[in-house]
Structure 1
Amino acid sequence: MSAAQFDAIVLGAGAAGMMAAATAGQRGKRVLLLDHADEPGKKILISGGGRCNFTNLGTAPDRYLSANPHFAKSALGRFSPQDFLALVERHGIAWHEKTLGQLFCDGSARQIVALLVEECRAGGVALALGQSVSAVTHADGQFRVSAGGHDYTAPALVLATGGPAIPKLGATGFAYELARQFGLSVVQPRPALVPFTLGADEALFRELSGVSAEVVVRWNKVRFREAALFTHRGLSGPAMLQISSYWQHRTPIGVNFLPDAAQGWLTDLKRARPKLALHNALALPDRLTSALLDRTGIGGELAGLTDKALRALESKLADWQFMPSGTEGFAKAEVTAGGISTADLSSRTMMASKVPGLYAIGEAVDVTGWLGGYNFQWAWASGWAAGQAI
Structure 2
Amino acid sequence: MLGNDTIIERVGALPTTPRRRFEALKVTSSSSFFKGEFELANIFVARYLAVSDATSFRVACRAIRECLDAQAASPTNSNGSHSSLDNAMVLGRGTFGTVYQVTSCLAVKVLPATLDAYVEIDILQSLHHPGALGVYDFWERDSYLYIVMELLICDLGNVAKPCAEPRVRHVMQQVCDAMAYCHNQGVMHKDLKLSNIMLASADPPKAVIIDWGIAERGGFSTRWGGTLEIMAPEVIGQQFTSKCDVWSLGCVMFALLCQRPFRVPTPWYYPFPLPEDGAMHIAQLERGAQCGRLCASAKAKQLVRKMLTFDDAKRPSMQDVLADDFFSVPAVGVQVSRCFVVVLLLVVCLIGLCFSGFLHGRLANFDNPMARIAHSCKQHILLRPPPWKRSFPGRVVI
Which one has a larger percent helix, Structure 1 or Structure 2? 2
Which one has a larger percent strand, Structure 1 or Structure 2? 1
TM range (shorter): under 0.3
Normalising by structure 1, what TM-score?
A: 0.25
